[in-house]
Amino acid sequence: MEVTERGWVHSIRPLGKILFVVLRNRKGLVQLTFKKKDDEGLFKLAKTLNLEDVIEVRGIEVPDTISKIGREIIPKELKIISRAEQPLPIDVTGLTQALLPTRLEWRPLDLRKRENLAIFKVQASIVEAAEKFLREKGFIQVFTPAIIGGVSEGGADVFEVDYFGKKAFLRQDPQLHRQLLMVAGFEKIFEIGPSWRAEKSHTTRHLCEHRGIAIEMSFIKDEYDVIKLEEDLVHHIVSFVIRKNKEDLELLGVELEEPKKPFPILEFPEIYNILEKLGKKIPYGEDYDRESEVLLWKYVKKEYDNDFFFVNRFPFAVKPFYVMRVDEEPFWARSVDLLYKGLELSSGGQREHRYEKIIEQAKEKGISLDSIKWFVEHFKYGAPPHGGFNLGVERLTMQLLNIPNIREATLFPRDPERYLP
């Protein structure tokens, strides 16, 4: 059968009067076997090929190839579309692995690695699965502003924007506008989009720009309704990836299992006891740290054989003003995190919808009421009980595929040192 393939020269192996060229494109690899005796002119042209040249080849597909590559074409025609200057700044085959900063410097070349394409195909599936699931459940997709006039949480780690001479900010989370849409009566919404953090953190899990799958829903009984939805959503996403990205997972050497439902729910203050038994003393009323996240994962793995778990009822003191506290025990908040393999994937829970309480809580946090007026005032005119969460897309990608650094789960990562390319 005659076929045409376009792509990049992945490897070249001359063997006297035969030349093996492997062509790589989105579909995978195919071996091109040029024989001198078949067509001398074509053979000569093929001899001029360099790694990463872009070519078009027309030829006959070998039906039962013995090539290890899996596919083989005997070319009849070769067009060199674009030459690649030599030497290449990084090795695209991945045989000699460059350091991450160099790879990111040459990210488009780095992304030519088939493993990288596989990572982002999985990431696309995560988003596709989430959208499908949420739409089917009646959630409306929305787009809230990225530029905001008022700061949502602390304020220290936001990027400032010059807004016609006035100070504006890039959102840290679409949270507050999502809540305003609950006040607007939208009931069930989701948003997939970026958030920004001007944090000079140099960890393997923080970016200055990341994306989230954020949802908000109204008329919930309490935060457990939100937990249930998130559990189903994540279960659906992972199952979808297992089905849809079989080849990608294989290429990446990742074995995925359907998550086990229900995901265990650990709650404060019991968490202090669990951690103490694991040899970690966290002062009562304080937030846990990074080490605790990993300890709790090991604990959940052993007790429940699950890589996922929720944490609920964080101390109000460590959460933002808009969370809902437990009325009978206001020390604790209906504030929920989801963790996967020892890393936080999302934060959320039930929000406070009662105007007086929001004001009271903001005052308690020392937030000037003037600065949140744009948000709070709307709650005076009828607000339903509601809650939601924001699930980090890059975090889920990295944990799902056991990627050690979040930058590798991001096409063009932005961190304190990097905003190019």
The region of 1-9, 267-275, 347-355, 392-400 touching Mg ion under the rule CB under 5 A is: 347-355
Give yes or no for residue 31 binding Mg ion (CB under 5 A).
no
CB of 319 to Mg ion, least distance (A): 9
Instruction: Identify whether the C-beta of residue 91 lies closer than 8 Å to the C-beta of residue 123.
Output: no
Cβ 397 vs Cβ 212: under 8 Å: no
157 near ligand ATP (CB under 6 A): no
> Which residue's Cβ has the minimum distance to ligand ATP?
392
Between residues 112 and 211, which has the closer beta carbon with respect to ligand ATP? Answer: 211
Among 45-53, 216-224, 351-359, 391-399, the segment contacting ligand ATP (CB under 6 A): 391-399
User: Which lies closer to Mg ion via its Cβ, residue 148 or residue 345?
Assistant: 345
User: How many whole angstroms separate alpha carbon 209 and alpha carbon 167?
Assistant: 20
One of 31, 179, 292, 347 touching Mg ion (CB under 5 A): 347
To the query of whether residue 177 is one of the catalytic residues in this protein, the response is: no
Burial of 210 (0-12, 13-18, 19+ CB in 10 A): buried
Residue count, binding to ligand ATP (CB under 6 A):
15
Judged by CB under 6 A, which stretch of 118-126, 137-145, 255-263, 343-351 contacts ligand ATP? 343-351
Q: Indicate which of ligand ATP, Mg ion, none lies near residue 346 (CB less than 5 to 8 Å, by partner kind).
A: ligand ATP
**Which residues, in sequence order, are bridge partners of residue 8?**
24, 54
Q: Are 32 and 75 in contact (CB under 8 A)?
A: yes
347 lies in the binding site for ligand ATP (CB under 6 A): yes
CA 147 to chain centre: 22
Question: In the complex, what is the shortest distance from the CB of residue 351 to ligand ATP, in angstroms, rounded to a whole number?
Answer: 14
Q: For tokens 């699930």, what's the residue?
A: 391
Residue 390's binding partner among Mg ion, ligand ATP, none (Cβ under 5 to 8 angstroms by kind) is ligand ATP
CB 12 within 8 A of CB 21: yes
Q: Which does 410 bind (CB under 5 to 8 A by kind): Mg ion, ligand ATP, none?
A: none
197 binds ligand ATP (CB under 6 A): yes
Q: Give 219: exposed, middle or buried? Use CB within 10 Å, 0-12, 13-18, 19+.
A: exposed
Question: Please, which residue, 53 or 394, has the CB nearer to ligand ATP?
Answer: 394
Which CB sits closer to Mg ion, 84 or 318? 318
**Residue 212's binding partner out of ligand ATP, Mg ion, none, with CB under 5 to 8 Å set by partner kind:** ligand ATP
303 is catalytic: no
- Give the rounded distance of the alpha carbon of 73 from its chain centre: 37
Catalytic site residue 395? yes
**Residue 175: what residue type?**
Q
199 a catalytic residue: yes
Kindly tell me which of 114 and 211 has the beta carbon lying closer to ligand ATP. 211
Does position 212 bind ligand ATP by CB under 6 A?
yes
- Whether omega for the bond prior to residue 413 falls within 30 degrees of 0, making it cis, is no
Under DSSP, is residue 153 helix (H, G, I), strand (E, B) or coil?
coil
Q: Which of 61, 115, 267, 344 is catalytic?
A: 344
Distance CA(379)–CA(361), nearest Å, equals 14
Residue closer to ligand ATP, measured from CB, 60 or 411: 411
Nearest Cα neighbor of 225 from 390, 392, 385, 391 is 385
Q: 207 and 407 in contact (C-beta within 8 Å)?
A: yes
Among ligand ATP, Mg ion, none, partner that 31 touches (CB below 5 to 8 angstroms by kind): none
10, 125, 347, 386: which is the annotated catalytic residue? 347
Burial (CB < 10 A; 0-12, 13-18, 19+), residue 70, is: exposed
Q: Which stretch binds ligand ATP (CB under 6 A): 76-84, 92-100, 368-376, 387-395?
A: 387-395
**Is 397 a residue that touches Mg ion (CB under 5 A)?**
no
Closest CA to 351 of 219, 231, 193: 219
Which is catalytic among the residues 115, 128, 131, 199?
199
Q: Please provide residue 79's backbone torsions phi and psi, each rounded to the nearest 5 degrees.
A: -120, 130
Q: Which of 222, 344, 357, 414 binds ligand ATP (CB under 6 A)?
A: 344
Pick from 308, 283, 315: nearest CA to 293:
308
The least distance separating Mg ion from the CB of residue 175, rounded to whole angstroms, comes to 11
309: left (phi over 0), alpha (psi -120 to 50) or beta: beta
Q: Rounded to the nearest whole angstrom, what is the least distance from the CB of residue 384 to ligand ATP in the complex? A: 23
β-strands 325-326, 329-333 pairing: antiparallel
How far the first Cα of the chain sits from its last, in Å, is: 42
**Residues with catalytic function:** 197, 199, 205-206, 344, 347, 395
Q: Which residues bind ligand ATP (CB under 6 A)?
A: 173, 197, 206-207, 210, 212, 344-347, 390, 392, 394-395, 406
The residues of the shown chain that bind Mg ion, judged by CB under 5 A, are 347
